[in-house]
Structures are given as C-alpha cells and as structure tokens.
A and B are shown apart, each in its own frame.
Chain A
C-alpha cells in the first residue's frame, strides 16, 4: 500500500460512541420521576408555601390564598406561552410591553370611535397576533437571535405605547371605558370574580388552569407539541425530517401574542384605564417563571405544568411578604434569592436524576 493512503487507513475511531449495547441499566422509578422537568419546581413551590404558612399566619385564610392565586394567574397566563416558546428554542423580550400595547389598542380604539368594546378587543387580538407573527417572521427570515429581534420589538412597542397614547388622549393613561357598550360582557369574560365557599376567586385563576391543562395536552399529546420539542432541541434535524420549523416558530410567537392579548384585556377590564408606561420588566418575570418551571433556556426541554408552579412561587413570595408584615422593600431581594435557590435546586435535581 502506498504511503499517501496511510491517512485514510489510519482514520482513528473517534470517541463518539460512549455507551455500548445492553449496558443500560433501567433507572429506579424515583429517579425517573425526579428527572421530570416539573418536579424540582413543585418541591420548591411547596417549600415556599410551607415557609409562608408558618411565617405569616394570615396566609392560611382563604381570602389570602385567593389573592395569591390571582397574583400568580396574571403572571402564569403569560408564563405558559413564554415557556412553550422557550421549549421551542426562543424567547420574547417584548412580551411585557406587548400586554400594554394590546390593552391600549382595545381601550383607545373603542373609546375614540365610540364603538362596542368588543370591536377594540377583536382588533387588539389581531394586532397582538400580528406582533407575534412579525417577531417570528423576522427571526426566521434573518436568522438573527431572538434576543436581538425581540429587544428591537420591545423598544419599538415601549416607545409607541407612550407616544401614541399621548398623541391620542393627550395623557399618559387612556380614558375610562367602564360606561361603554359591551363592557359588562367583556368584564365577565376577562375580569370577573366568583364565589367559592365565601371566598371571591378571580376568573383569571380558572383561565390560567384551563390554559395550563390545554398547553400540557398540546405539548405531550399532539403533533404540534412534538414539533415544539424538536425545533427547540435541534432545529436542523427537525427540518431535515420534515418538521415545518418556520410554521412552528412563528406560531409559537403568535401564541405569546395571544397570551399578551388575554392579560392585556384582563388589565383593561379590571382597572378600566391603562397606564401606557407599564409592562416594562414583566417579560423577565415571565421568562424567570418559565426557567424556574424547569424549561431549559436553550430550548428542547421543559413542561407546561412547571411554569404553573413557577408563577405560583412568584405570586406566593410577592403576597407572602405583605402578609408576613415585612418591609416590602425587601421583596425584590427576597425574590432574587428564591429565584436563584429554585434554579439551583432544579439544576441539582435534574443532574442527579439524569446521571447514569
């Protein structure tokens, strides 16, 4: 054999295959359970709940619990699509201000044109979906990271919210819509309360849990859910086996748009007016709730139930500090510690459980 052939002959077996056939040991059921994405955050949420049940006696009352759940639901409804998007490998920094954009649109459109509020609600929905579609389309068209694209959208929306509101109303807030046609109906859908054993529970809590159940079903039991995991786990593989990557990613951004619309409508119909400068910073809370909920920031791994517990932890700490009678100035610091702790517990649980 001639010499120049040597390199080809000597192609070394690269250390690619680590496991050999028949050596995999079935992990114990406990470890398999712990490896589920939502188990870590569930334990964390229970720990926070127990902590405040002990530290703040007033949390034990039904009314307090309803308030905590309400607080959790407004974060949780947005955390769900944000989590799905994160599993799909992207995130959306414009989610926080998109909520306000949607509420402003519905409010100003109905008020200025003196139409039924449902017209504004529908137009706001179309606009929210369009913003989501724009984010997704830009991302797929340019191949830029979602951080950049949605940061751009975030800044645009933040500016437009303020400028257009001042232009239209001459004020930083919109006019009161509570005496307009259809307000009662809309309030019943987005912002009403109902009675459970003498405790007033906000309807958003119900919507939150319904959406969570729906998202879980879609994620684990449908074709589309399979695609979400695939485009987040390995976009190129997914495309190569025939998964419509562009459709999946754009529709995930539109789902975040839908969430922003829903929460925006809730804010509009519970407070009657909208402050145009709000919403900034909320996008990070949604992302944090999803990450605490066991979703991998890089995509391809997570659940829809995890963010439910993640959002509950936020609501719990937020209200718990008030009920415990502590100085609310400590809220953010306390929250940061809880956040870091939860993420570390999550990481540790996942590492321990998936080690083989």
Chain B
C-alpha cells in the first residue's frame, strides 16, 4: 500500500471550496479500520460541509459500510483521525454520534418492521411525561409530532398505528430521513437509500436528500448508483478495496468519468493492454487510461 503517495495526491485533490459556514462538520483524515488482520478501510479522507451532499461510491466490499459505521459510532477507527467540528472524537455508541448531531439512516436496519410508524419515529428518543415512577410515553404528542413532521416532508399516512413493515421501501426511507431531520441532525448519513427502490421511489428519496441539503444539513450519500449520486452530489468519493479511488468536486468530474471509476475504469484500462494481446477480445469500446482525466489518487494501488 502506498500511503505516502495517496496522502500527497490528496493535497492537490481537495480543493473543494467550503461553503461560507466555515470548516467541515465531519472530517476524516487518513482514517482506516482493521478487523484483526483484515484491513477493511485504509487512508480515507472525507469532509462533510453544511448544506452539501458528499457522495461515497464504491462496489460491494469497497469499504462504504465500514466508513459509515465509523462515522455513526457503530465501530471505532483504528488509524487516522476523525474530527467533528474540528475536534478529534472517538464514538463508542451510536448514541454519542446522535448527540453530536450525526444521524445514520440505514438501508436495511433503519426501522423495526413490527412496530407502529409513530413508535419507530421516536424509537430511542421517546417523549415522556410525568414524574419518574409513573413517567410514561406521551403518546398523543408523539403521534401528532410524527404526523406533522411526515407531512412536512410530503409523506401522508392514513394510519400511524400500522406496523412500519407494511410501508413501501421508499416510504420507510422517507420516515427514517424525516426522523433524523426532526431530531436535529446536522449530518445525515444515508446508506444506499435507493438500492432496493424502484425508479419513481428513488426519485422521491433523492428529493428528500435535496430537501435535507437545502435545510442546511451535511449529507453523506452512500450509493453504488453513479446516476443517483450525480443528481444530488456536490462532492464525490469513490472507494475501492478499502482505499480512495477518487475524490473530486462536482466541477472536476463528469458523470461518465464517475461511472467509469465506479465500474473499476482505471483497472479496466490497464487490463485492456493485457487483453489486447489476446485474440478475440473486443477492446475497442474500453476507455484508455488517458480518458480518465479525473484525479486518481489511488490509481497506482490498483495495479500493484
């Protein structure tokens, strides 16, 4: 692994103009995570600014999940730095991350399917009333608030008592996003929110991502669909085998380049030369390495 090169290359790459709000809300500097002798993530830089959407792309096993688990407090990083509002932190539980305004919306574990919508909405942050021995859930207030928040996000449900498992995938994601926004999240981490959704439902979710961004939240949007990413993203980070494949602002990268990187374009370009030696493999339509003009901080690692 060529840590020095990666780090050196980044200096040039991260010319992402921060918005007028000052420094990044969440920042990773050369962060990594090892599970025993398996290095799941290594040398990753990431900055999340208020009112910006940072997209993290990558194939299966690229380290996307590990990355968000570090930021959301489910796992701890084993190398590098993790800063919130400029100060180094190390979360041991998701609760700590939530208290710092970092909320994660997971693709598959966002909700408890058998529980009613309103209970899911307030799960872990229930409203209560009354003194301690008889402190109880303020059900009327929770139902009202959940209904108001969901309507504000454009989700109208007939019955908040229905188990959330009976909602569609898109609706569940939207409930989870509305919940995170309601509980004062400043940084919203969305783990493949559109992965299991149809075209129209994906559109609905992308709309809420844009809505959250316009409300001034920093959004980390994890996906392996570059088209969805390019619709809302301000900055793109592509992970590959646990390291940075590419990190670029929207102005520095086109959708096509992004797609190529996602599909392992840099590696394929190198492979093309080898394949061209073999008869019968059509390499005409594969891109040359030169075509991939976007910054390639970790391209050398793909070949090593």
Contacts and interface: CB of A to CB of B under 8 A. Distances in A.
Interface of A: 1-5, 7-9, 11, 13-14, 16-22, 24, 26, 217, 221-223, 225-226, 229-230, 233-234, 236-244, 300-301, 356
Contact of B262 (A8, A19, A226, A244): A8
A106 B201 CA distance: 62
B114 A300 contact: yes
Given A2-B287, A222-B135, A239-B94, A234 B111 contact: yes
Nearest to B226: A8
Nearest to A220: B137
Given A26-B159, A221-B136, A230 B115 contact: yes
A223 B138 CA distance: 10
15 contacts: A2-B265, A8-B262, A17-B196, A22-B156, A217-B136, A221-B139, A222-B128, A222-B135, A223-B135, A229-B112, A229-B115, A233-B112, A236-B109, A237-B112, A241-B124
Contacts of B169: 16-17
Among B119, B159, B199, B263, max chain A CB count under 10 A is at B263
Interface in B117-176: 119, 122-126, 128, 135-137, 139, 156, 158-159, 162, 166-171
Given A229-B114, A238-B123, A13 B198 contact: yes
Contacts of A11: 224-225
- Decide if the interface of chain A is mainly helix, strand, loop or mixed: loop
A4 B167 contact: no
Interface in B241-260: 256, 259-260
Contact of A356 (B72, B135, B166, B259): B166
Contacts of A225: 137
A244 B98 CA distance: 13
Interface of B: 72, 74, 93-95, 98, 104, 106, 109-115, 119, 122-126, 128, 135-137, 139, 156, 158-159, 162, 166-171, 195-199, 201-202, 224-227, 256, 259-260, 262-265, 268, 285-287
A229 B227 contact: no
A21 B171 contact: yes
Contacts of A9: 227, 259
B76 to A, nearest CB: 15
B73 to A, nearest CB: 9
Instruction: Give the most central of A13, A14, A222: most B CB within 10 Å.
Output: A13
The 3 closest A-B pairs by CB, nearest first: A16-B196, A242-B124, A17-B168
A237 B109 contact: yes
Given A223-B128, A230-B123, A239-B94, A2 B114 contact: no
Identify the interface centre among B123, B166, B260, B264: most chain A CB within 10 Å of its CB: B123
A221 B137 contact: yes
Contacts of B106: 237, 240
A17 B112 contact: no
B111 A5 contact: no
Contacts of A7: 263
A239 to B, nearest CB: 6
A16 B197 CA distance: 6
A3 B287 CA distance: 9
Contact of B256 (A2, A13, A237, A244): A2
B182 to A, nearest CB: 12
A251 B256 CA distance: 54
